[in-house]
A and B are shown apart, each in its own frame.
Chain A
Amino acid sequence: MRSDSTVQIALVLPDLLGTYGDFGNAVVLQKRLAWRGIPAEIVPINFGQAVPESCDIYVVGGGEDTAQTLAVKHLQDNPGLQHAVRRGATVLGVCAGIQLFGDHFTRADGVTRPGLGLIDSTSHAGPNRAIGEVLAKPLGGLFDGVLTGFENHQGRTTLGPAARPLAQVTVGTGNDGKVEGAVQGKIVCTYLHGPVLPRNPQLADLLIEWATGTKPAPLDLPILDQLRAERVKAAQRTTDASSRG
């Protein structure tokens, strides 16, 4: 955390990678910090702008193939994010994030593009678009409770030995139908929208803990528990329906 104690949350290329409301992840981090008396601000980094390396948390969202290609090029030309990762900054990469943080990704048109190499993984276009509610069980004791979200992606991801999966899929597709997301150092990647942090406050607080070095005090927001319960039930209904059908 910076000496002036305001936590800076970089929202990376929201104008390219903001297709699925992933801006909400930055809002959740900012509010959950502020509600605990820790000042925090969102720093949007738009297409064409330099990428600062001094932020505490970086949030990267989902986008279309073309936008993703442009985003990788922009982040290669302005390597502030990569420098921040080396410094130990906390990063959340959603959907396209998991693909552009990897070594390379092969698009639906067959073209292979290099990624940023921050996560030991490769991605390619799958046989169909995975769309729907997802449930997954967090691995490695990272946080409690089931991971819930909504996926909408063509990409499939294979992890190398340096990265480990975030969770084990029970409903939906995730990386490959078996596991979901990736964790490497203080980088968390996931295919889940919803957005993912409003649905999973435990994950939001894990990122806050990594960024501030302190486990945050609990926040009592019953509406979040209610949302999680409703979404878990809805996801289970979709599997019941498909196993019947």
Chain B
Amino acid sequence: MSSKLSQAMGLGAGGMIGGRVALKLDPQALRRLCAGRRVALVTGTNGKTTTTLMLARAVDELGLVASNHGGANMPDGLVTALSQDPDADFAVLEVDEGYFPAVAQVVEPEVVLLLNLSRDQLDRVGEVHTIERSLRKVLTDLPNCTVVANCDDVLVTSAAWDAKRVAWVATGTGWHHDSASCPRCGSPIRHDQGSWHCTSCDLGRPKPHWGVDRGDLVSSQGERIELGLRLPGKFNQANAVMATAGAAAFGAPVAESVRRVRSVTDVAGRYRTVSRTGHTARLLLSKNPAGWTETLTMLQGGDHAVVVAVNAKEADGRDLSWLWDVPFEQLRGRTVIAAGERATDLSVRLTYAEVRHTVVPDTLKAIDAAPQGAVEVIANYTAFRDLNAKAANAQ
């Protein structure tokens, strides 16, 4: 009822209100709702929603799964998802990295997926090294938990280093701009030939159990399975292997997990295609410098028009300094339209990147203004959410 109310009032996607009420009524709700279930938590800066959906699909093989598919990843969102599926034996939950320590202590998960850590909304979430230290503390103390961790990410490796049981995954993806210094001792980190190590203490890239190699998953048993994902980009291959390794920790067979992970196409509207006014627009969500960099890399080689939409509401982070951490120079030579509430900031960034562009603040109108045919639309959080809602209404 209250979820419908939330949707009717336009307060969001309807994932939050029910949970907020339940938590107020019963502070132990999360603990009680997880008791007796086998729980996996997915956290990290980027890829949480996609990987959670992939893991939930794979674990479906083993039994009923409760999951917060919409990306409502704070405690009240978790309570909502869990109350909707009281009979599910499994819970696969995306958790905001800031809330993760508190949530993990309460639910004592059997599996944790730690995807990656990089700067994100510094004015709201805080600095990434602080996040790493809080994750490290709780992961070290968790009993009976398998941590599936990306060993190509220095901060993730440090956070999982002292955990009781770790499945290391070589994802081939990692943002190095926040890991020049060792998170444990402060000495320089040296990166060479896909590996890395601290120049002073013993922190270094562990030998991976799982990996991605030219589009194939390589399992801990040495099996190679072609991923054949319908979602684009190397980043999603990394997410798929993390999800498969997580499902394996629950006992799911690898080949079956990959088959199920492959079926994921639309993740809460992301990667979805919208047709309007002679345009086929693909909607891509990017929330922080590492995410934007992955998305721009994925678009390289193409020549479709690109609409870039940026807002700076509370949920996006009010500070747009991060625009300068994103290599927009890669868009040179393409048709580019700057959109969103902060189209002017974006236009200044593109001007200094020497990317020719026009400015059309309304994102739907920006799509209409592009040459007919395929259009890539990259948007940050609320710009993406608003566009998805508007595109749905317009169709």
A-B contact count (CB 8 A): 90
> Given the complex of chains A and B, what is the CA–CA distance between A226 and B320 in angstroms?
16
> Do A131 and B123 touch across chains, with their CB atoms under 8 A apart?
yes
> Do A21 and B318 touch across chains, with their CB atoms under 8 A apart?
no
Contacts of B322 in A (CB 8 A): 20-21
Q: Which residue of A lies closest to B189 (CB)?
A: A47
Given A21-B321, A70-B181, A221-B119 contact (CB < 8 Å): no
Given A132-B318, A227-B345, A47-B122 contact (CB < 8 Å): no
Chain A min CB distance to B316 (Å): 13
Given A15-B177, A226-B344, A23-B352 contact (CB < 8 Å): no
Of the candidates A19, A28, A132, A194, which one forms a contact with B122 in the assembled complex, judged by CB atoms under 8 Å apart?
A19
Interface residues of A in 107-160 (CB under 8 A from B): 131-133, 150, 152
Q: Which residue of A lies closest to B323 (CB)?
A: A21
- Say whether A18 faces chain B, with CB atoms less than 8 Å apart: yes
> Do B181 and A47 touch across chains, with their CB atoms under 8 A apart?
yes
- Say whether A31 faces chain B, with CB atoms less than 8 Å apart: yes
Of the candidates A48, A152, A194, which one forms a contact with B188 in the assembled complex, judged by CB atoms under 8 Å apart?
A48
> Given the complex of chains A and B, what is the CA–CA distance between A227 and B186 in angstroms?
38
> Given the complex of chains A and B, what is the CA–CA distance between A148 and B348 in angstroms?
15
Q: Which residue of B lies closest to A152 (CB)?
A: B123
Q: Which residue of B lies closest to A17 (CB)?
A: B180
- Say whether B351 faces chain A, with CB atoms less than 8 Å apart: yes
Contacts of B180 in A (CB 8 A): 13, 15-16, 46-47
> Do A31 and B352 touch across chains, with their CB atoms under 8 A apart?
yes
Contacts of A28 in B (CB 8 A): 352
Chain A min CB distance to B291 (Å): 15
Of the candidates A47, A221, A230, which one forms a contact with B351 in the assembled complex, judged by CB atoms under 8 Å apart?
A221
> Do A16 and B177 touch across chains, with their CB atoms under 8 A apart?
no
> Do B325 and A23 touch across chains, with their CB atoms under 8 A apart?
yes
> Do A19 and B352 touch across chains, with their CB atoms under 8 A apart?
no
> Given the complex of chains A and B, what is the CA–CA distance between A31 and B354 in angstroms?
9
> Given the complex of chains A and B, what is the CA–CA distance between A21 and B129 in angstroms?
17
> Do A20 and B122 touch across chains, with their CB atoms under 8 A apart?
yes
> Do B347 and A223 touch across chains, with their CB atoms under 8 A apart?
yes
Query: Which secondary structure dominates chain A's binding surface?
Result: mixed
The digit string for B15-35, where 1 denotes a CB below 8 A from any CB of A, is 000000000000000000000
> Given the complex of chains A and B, what is the CA–CA distance between A132 and B312 in angstroms?
12
Of the candidates B122, B177, B178, B352, which one forms a contact with A24 in the assembled complex, judged by CB atoms under 8 Å apart?
B352
- Say whether B349 faces chain A, with CB atoms less than 8 Å apart: yes
Chain B min CB distance to A197 (Å): 9
Contacts of B181 in A (CB 8 A): 15-16, 47, 66-67, 70
> Do B319 and A193 touch across chains, with their CB atoms under 8 A apart?
yes
Q: Which residue of B lies closest to A238 (CB)?
A: B318
> Given the complex of chains A and B, what is the CA–CA distance between A46 and B180 in angstroms?
8
Q: Which residue of A lies closest to B326 (CB)?
A: A21
Q: Which residue of B lies closest to A71 (CB)?
A: B181
- Say whether A64 faces chain B, with CB atoms less than 8 Å apart: yes
- Say whether B127 faces chain A, with CB atoms less than 8 Å apart: yes
Residue from the set B180, B321, B359 with the largest chain A CB neighbour count within 10 Å: B321
> Given the complex of chains A and B, what is the CA–CA distance between A21 and B325 in angstroms?
5
Chain B min CB distance to A20 (Å): 5
Interface residues of B in 312-370 (CB under 8 A from A): 318-325, 344-345, 347-349, 351-354, 359
Contacts of A132 in B (CB 8 A): 318
- Say whether A42 faces chain B, with CB atoms less than 8 Å apart: no
Chain A min CB distance to B159 (Å): 15
Of the candidates A70, A133, A193, A223, which one forms a contact with B344 in the assembled complex, judged by CB atoms under 8 Å apart?
A223
- Say whether A27 faces chain B, with CB atoms less than 8 Å apart: yes
> Do B188 and A27 touch across chains, with their CB atoms under 8 A apart?
no
Contacts of B320 in A (CB 8 A): 150, 194
Contacts of A13 in B (CB 8 A): 180
Given A70-B181, A223-B351, A198-B127 contact (CB < 8 Å): no
Of the candidates B129, B318, B323, which one forms a contact with A64 in the assembled complex, judged by CB atoms under 8 Å apart?
B129
Q: Which residue of B lies closest to A30 (CB)?
A: B352
> Do B321 and A24 touch across chains, with their CB atoms under 8 A apart?
yes
Contacts of B348 in A (CB 8 A): 198, 223-224, 227
Chain A min CB distance to B208 (Å): 25
A-B contact pairs, 28 of them (CB 8 A): A16-B180, A16-B181, A18-B325, A19-B119, A19-B122, A21-B321, A22-B324, A24-B323, A27-B353, A28-B352, A47-B180, A47-B181, A48-B188, A66-B129, A70-B186, A131-B319, A133-B318, A152-B122, A193-B319, A194-B320, A198-B324, A223-B344, A223-B347, A223-B351, A223-B359, A224-B348, A227-B347, A230-B344
Which 5 residue pairs are nearest across A and B when measured between Cβ atoms?
Answer: A24-B324, A15-B180, A21-B321, A21-B324, A48-B188
Which B positions have Cβ atoms within 8 angstroms of A? Answer: 119, 122-123, 127, 129-130, 177-178, 180-181, 186, 188, 190, 199, 318-325, 344-345, 347-349, 351-354, 359
